[in-house]
Amino acid sequence: MRLHPTRSSLRRRAWIAALVGLGATVCQAEISLVGQINPFPNQEFYADVWGAGDFAYVGSWGPSGARGVLIYDISDPANPVLAATYNGGAGGRPYQDVKVAGGIGYFGLDDGSTDGTDVVDLSDPANPVLLARLTESDDNSLPDVHNVFVDAGFLYQADSGTATVAVFDVSTPAAPSFVRDIATPGGAIHDITAKGGRLFASDISNGATYIYDVTHVGTAAPPLLGTVPSGPSSHSSWISDDGTILVNAEERGGGAVSLWDVSDPANPVFLSSIDATLLGIDASSPHNPILVGNLLYISWYEAGLQLLDITDPSNPVHLGGFDTFPGANQGGFDGDWGVYPFLGPDRVLLSDLEGGLIIVDVTSVTGSTIFADDFESGDLGAWSAVAP
Domain carrying residue 49: 32-386
The verdict on residue 21 lying in a domain is no
DSSP run (H or E) holding 365:
helix 363-366
The verdict on residue 339 lying in a domain is yes
CATH number of the domain where residue 189 is located: 2.130.10.10
Q: What is the strand order of the sheet 245-250 is part of?
A: 234-239, 245-250, 257-261, 269-274
CA distance 388 to 370: 19
Phi, psi dihedrals of residue 384, rounded to the nearest 5°: -60, -40
The verdict on residue 22 lying in a domain is no
pLDDT tens digits, one per residue of 29-63: 589 999 999 988 777 789 999 999 999 999 988 77
CA distance 206 to 380: 29
pTM for this predicted structure: 0.88
Which sign does the torsion angle of CA 277, 281, 285, 287 carry?
negative
Among the listed residues 15, 6, 26, 22, the one whose alpha carbon sits nearest the alpha carbon of residue 271: 22
Confidence class for position 253, pLDDT limits 50, 70, 90: confident
The verdict on residue 1 lying in a domain is no
The verdict on residue 353 lying in a domain is yes
Which sign does the torsion angle of CA 157, 116, 290, 248 carry?
negative
Would you say 151 and 380 are in contact if contact means Cβ atoms under 8 Å apart? yes
pLDDT tens digits, one per residue of 267-322: 999 999 999 998 988 888 999 999 999 999 999 988 999 999 999 999 999 999 99
Could you give the number of structural domains in the chain?
1
DSSP 121: E
Backbone Cα Rg of the chain: 19
